[in-house]
Structure 1
Amino acid sequence: MNIIIIEDELRTAKSLENIILSIRPDSKIIGQYQSIEGSVKALSQQDQPDLIFMDIQLADGLCFEIFKQVKISSPVVFCTAFDEYSLEAFKRNGVDYVLKPFSKDDIQSAFKKVDGLQNFFQQKIVPDIGNLLAKLSSPAGKESFLVFKSQKYTTVKTENIAFFYIHNDSSTIMCFDQQEFVLNQSLDQITALVSAKQFFRVNRQYLVNFKAIKEIEHYFLRKLFVRLVIETPDKLLINKEKTPAFLLWMEDR
């Protein structure tokens, strides 16, 4: 595996190189660069590496400037002392976001993610045409739910639902106008019925509509705190394992 390290702290770069070679002794560090200018020049003149380890704050600015000046197709592991750039990082080929000071276990975990990504695409080289056509012809998601309230049946359009959540052990609809309805289906069943592009299962208790999301904040222990346009009974937290998938879902518009 050919690897490039972009890191303006020489001691950190050397430490990272030693960790990488101890984990993957068959790998080759084909370049180390300390600046945006040097990285752009190198990446413009050579083949893309198999993997890039990249610090975010470089001597001459944020590393995201590199992506504006040269096309990068390689997966990137971002290494930084700051966690406020995670959303931007996952827009830029990011497969992992490692906070400094990093450990050997952190880098080992990053390699596992890279391996998983490569294995996935190797297995998908020959597409299943039948499955692909089935997905293309499948409905975008359930358009409404039949509910029973005040001794009457009615339907609730899915587009009017801000989120589904578990309340008193029952799946419950919360609409944007804050009307609530109880459903017989489990949250797992509901998740399978609605559009995966429109709704995201942020945790075991909540399935959230993209249109309901107001803002996202970093939270303790590398979690994300999601605030909706209407108040939720519980604080919506996404654990660090689910964060990359959530950010990619937010970006896929």
Structure 2
Amino acid sequence: MKILIIEDEQRNAKRLQNLLLEINPEINVVGILESVADSVEWFASNDEPDLILMDVRLADGLCFEIFSACTITAPVIFTTAYDEYAIRAFKVNSIDYLLKPIDKLELANALTKYKQISTQHQTGEMINNLVEIIKKPGTVFRSRFLIPIHDGYKTINVSDIVYIFSEFKVSNLVLENGDVQAITFTMDELEDQLDPSVFFRANRQHLISINSIKSIHNFFNGKLKVIINGQEEVEIFISREKSAMFKQWLDR
């Protein structure tokens, strides 16, 4: 299998190459490219590989600029540290993606998934759909919830939510005034509906608002502990694997 890696950070590219060879020593990494410009030049003078592993954000722009300049029909697995619009588009189009730091098992599963793509036409069509979604000027996220109560309804503004937690498969909104409101949506549905620049999926049980964070502390084994304003007794933990993504989410 011939694989092309497009990744602007040398350390990440080398780690990805090593993981591929651990999974299958017969994999041939035909190149490691760092930029949109390098990629366009490479495709102009080389045959397409069997598979492309492509970072979303490169040193000189978004990787989707490559598709505007080149005709690419090879399957693509995207990698990203955190790109909210790309992740939503990947879900819609069933193109696989890997969040950094890349896990060996997830990479192996992605390689298996790529083999299930039946035709090059399908791959090209999915990528075109993906690019169109990324180019859309804006995504409308939920701003309020309509909650049925007794013989009527009430609304809860998303801006009043400090965090959301799941318990016994029920999602609960925790509000600034301390009220807790159960809702019918799953945590996955809420993650898709809420603005990812404001809400972060800390773990399977918690979504936290950036406006509600009081403090962040290093914890055992590379984890982070988050303390919420007005909810100091609540400790929300972020795994070592997800801590880099969380820091990047905060530092923007």
TM-score (norm 1): 0.51
Q: Secondary structure at the match of 1:137?
A: coil
Q: Which residue of structure 1 lines up, in the alignment, with residue 138 of structure 2?
A: 137
Conserved 8 A contact 1:222-1:239: yes
Alignment of 1:143-162 (within 5 A): 143-149=143-149, 152-162=152-162
Conserved 8 A contact 1:146-1:153: yes
In 2 relative to 1, CA 203–121 (structure 1 residues): closer, same or farther, beyond 3 Å?
closer
Q: Which residue of structure 2 lines up, in the alignment, with residue 174 of structure 1?
A: 174
- The CA distance in 2 between the partners of 1:156 and 1:198, in whole Å, is 16
Deviation at 1:177, TM superposition (A): 1.2
Q: Which residue of structure 1 lines up, in the alignment, with residue 194 of structure 2?
A: 194
Encode CA deviations 1:27-56: one digit per residue, 9 max, x unaligned.
xxxxxxxxxxxxxxxxxxxxxxxx9xxxxx
Please tell me whether residue 235 in structure 1 is matched to residue 242 in structure 2.
no
Alignment of 1:219-234 (within 5 A): 219-231=219-231, 234=234
Amino acid across the alignment from 1:212: S
Deviation at 1:207, TM superposition (A): 0.5
**Identity of matched residues, %:** 19
Amino acid across the alignment from 1:133: K
Encode CA deviations 1:90-117: one digit per residue, 9 max, x unaligned.
xxxxx69xxxxxxxxxx9579659x999
Alignment of 1:1-253 (within 5 A): 75=9, 119-121=53-55, 124=64, 125-126=66-67, 129-134=131-136, 136-139=137-140, 141-149=141-149, 152-231=152-231, 234-252=234-252
TM-score (norm 2): 0.51
Deviation at 1:195, TM superposition (A): 0.4
In 2 relative to 1, CA 110–162 (structure 1 residues): closer, same or farther, beyond 3 Å?
farther
Q: What runs of 5+ residues in structure 2 fail to find an aligned partner? A: 1-6, 21-28, 35-52, 57-62, 69-127
Encode CA deviations 1:218-250: one digit per residue, 9 max, x unaligned.
100100111111227752111111111111111
Encode CA deviations 1:165-197: one digit per residue, 9 max, x unaligned.
113431111011111111011111111111011
Q: Rg larger in 1 or in 2? A: 1
In 2 relative to 1, CA 112–234 (structure 1 residues): closer, same or farther, beyond 3 Å?
farther
- The CA distance in 2 between the partners of 1:121 and 1:227, in whole Å, is 32
Q: Secondary structure at the match of 1:202?
A: strand
